Every structure is written in C-alpha cells, then in structure tokens.
Structure 1
Amino acid sequence: MTARVALGRKTAAAEGDIVVFQIGLRINRLRSLSSWVPAFMSMPRMLRELSQEESSGLLGYKLLFGSLRDFYVVQYWTDKEHLLAYAHQKDKEHRPAWTAFNRRARTGRGHVGIWHETFLVPAGSYESVYVDMPPYGLAEATGVVPVSRRGETAAQRLEATDS
C-alpha cells in the first residue's frame, strides 16, 4: 500500500529531545549465506517486536538500501534509555540475535559487516520540511503538522523546537 501524499508544506510533529539510531549490514561475501542471511532476517523480527510494544520507546523507522550489498535502518526513539534497555533485554529479539551474530562472525570472519550510529538530538537541534510528500522519516514516526505552525524557514522551525 502506498502512503497518501500530504499536499503542501509540512513538518514533523516531533517535540522535545529525540534519539536517531542508524544500524546497517554490509554483505562482504555474497556466497557466504550462512554468515549474513541470519543477521539480515533478524532485523524485521526486532522491528516488528518493537513496533507492537507501545512502551518500547521506538517512535518509528525507515528501511533503506544503499546498494546490492548495503542495507540500513534509521530508527527514531524517545530516549537513549529505551534504546539501551532494548539492546540488553535477554527475553527480546536483539540479545539472542547479537549473540548468534558474534558466534557466526568468529567462523566467517569478514563475510558480513555491521555498524550502528546513535545521535542524541536535543530539542532545538532538528527541523524538517516535507513538500507534497507522504509522511517520511521523522514525520512518519511522529506525524505531520502544517509548516506554518513551526515557522516558514528552517531557522524559524529550529527556534520553535527549542522549547
């Protein structure tokens, strides 16, 4: 199903501090299926689990593809505490997937790479504009409001998110 286009100029309805977490996988050896397929398949399970639990702290995410070998996810979180708590919970999908990845990585050294970056973004340090777009990125995670509610320019929107 294609998302409905929101006509006009919109901005994300996000308020306050946010956390942007990017995580990716790079297939270094395509033929080494046993090294990368399990890691590749674990991400949808984690995202489904997080999306189904309202108190997880995950606001939303966007799956992106860099190339035939590169895949990544941009995630938006309420705070770092929720993100870090999920990473360490033994009864959730992440911890067993991480343990299994490390075990496979020892035998298939260099076959698959993973990376992540975490950005703690305080209020007043982000802004957004979407013109004739379906909700995307932060707006998909938090909803949209008319750009006029936050300011017509990027500088005005940055000021508006400062409180």
Structure 2
Amino acid sequence: MSTSPITGRVTAAAEGDAVVFLIGMRINRWRSVRHWVPLLGMMRRMVTELDRDPDAGLLGYRLLTAGPREYMAVQYWESREKLLAYAVDGQRLHRPAWAAFNRRARNAAGRVGIWHETYVVPPGSYETIYSGMPAYGLGAAHGVEPVARRGERAAERLAAPAAG
C-alpha cells in the first residue's frame, strides 16, 4: 500500500454493501499482564493470517490505540458471510483464541475487556472523501476513484447507490 498522498479529491470505489467490523480490548488492570498480553498478540496474528489469504475476505484494516488502555482494529470485509465464516472456522486463529479467552476470563474478574461491533451498510448509505491523503479506510480497502463519478457533494454521494 502506497503512503504517498493522492492529488485531487477522490472517494472510495466501493460497490454494494460496506462491511465494517470494529474489535477492541481494554486493559482494566495493568498488573494482570497474563490476561491482556495474549490478546494483543492474538489480534496481530489474526490480521496477519487474514492478510496472507485474500480469499478469506478481509479487504483492509487499521490497528489503533484509543488511549493508554484501549486497542482496536477497524476492518473492512468483502461480505458479512466471509466475516462470519472466519469467526467460526476451527482451522483459523479466531475460534481457538475465543475459546482461550473465555477460559481465562472465568478467573480474570474483569482484568481485561473485549468488544466488537459489526456494521453492514447498504449502498447509498455511506460516503467518503479523501484529499491529499494516501488511500485510507474504505478507500484503501476498495480502491479510489474521482469524486465527480459519485457526486461533488456528500449529499449526492449518499443519495445514489454506488455506480456499477
């Protein structure tokens, strides 16, 4: 992925639903290292696993910190079906990681928290604009195109489904 800024105004070239998955963790007790360090490592290993297999459906992601205690990943998926298939596949990292977290959580007494949110956004209900930025977010996941193809104003881009 290029880190060079794109000149001009562009928008994400997404077609159809935009599937956005947010997942994160919060360290509630710093001294409980054995409860939160494995989660941080597993988050990184899962996105690496998905990066190596484009057919799995992960189109792009960004790992973020939201303060000293909170860490999260913003992920863009090809479809809800591929996201759900990854979540339950016993041959992939997520399923065993989820089982291990649940085993540790029984005795963790809230030392670390986890959360996730999934959004399936239909065409015409999302819009993007990037100016002087490298491909980012939905634009990095789906590629970009000139803003004029979808409308110069946000209201225009939201009013019409993505061009086919």
Provide the TM-score with structure 1 as the length reference: 0.95
Task: Give the 4+ runs in structure 1 shifted more than 6 A.
Answer: none
Query: CA offsets, 1:88-112, max 9 Å, x none?
Result: 0001010111111111111112100
Distance of 1:162 and 1:44 partners within structure 2? 32
Letter in 2 for 1:63: L
The match for 2:109 is 109
Secondary structure of the 2:103 match is helix
Task: Tell me which amino acid in the other structure corresponds to 1:54.
Answer: P
Q: 1:22 is matched by which residue type in structure 2?
A: L
Gaps of at least 5 residues in structure 2 are none
Partner of 2:65: 65
Name the counterpart of 2:137: 137
Distance 2:142 2:71 in 1: 23
**Which structure 2 residues correspond to residues 1-163 of structure 1 after superposition, within 5 A?**
3-162=3-162
Query: 1:76–1:141: 8 Å Cα contact kept in structure 2?
Result: yes
Cα offsets for 1:45-87 (capped at 9, x unmatched):
1101111112111111111111000011111111111111101
% of aligned pairs identical?
57
Q: Is the 8 Å Cα contact of residues 14 and 162 (structure 2) preserved in structure 1?
A: no
The alpha-carbon deviation at position 160 of structure 1 amounts to 3.7
CA deviation after TM superposition for structure 1 residue 148, in Å: 1.2
Q: Check whether the contact 1:125–1:162 (CA below 8 A) recurs between aligned residues.
A: no
Assess if the C-alpha contact under 8 Å between 2:56 and 2:86 holds in 1.
Answer: yes
SS at the partner of 1:125? coil
Name the TM-score, length of structure 2 as normaliser: 0.94
The Cα shift of 1:2 comes to 7.2
How many correspondences in the alignment? Answer: 163
Tell me: CA distance 1:85–1:134, structure 2 relative to 1, closer, same or farther (3 Å).
Answer: same
Whether contact under 8 Å (2:22, 2:75) holds in the other structure is: yes
RMSD (Å), alpha carbons: 1.4
Q: 2: distance between equivalents of 1:15 and 1:21? A: 17
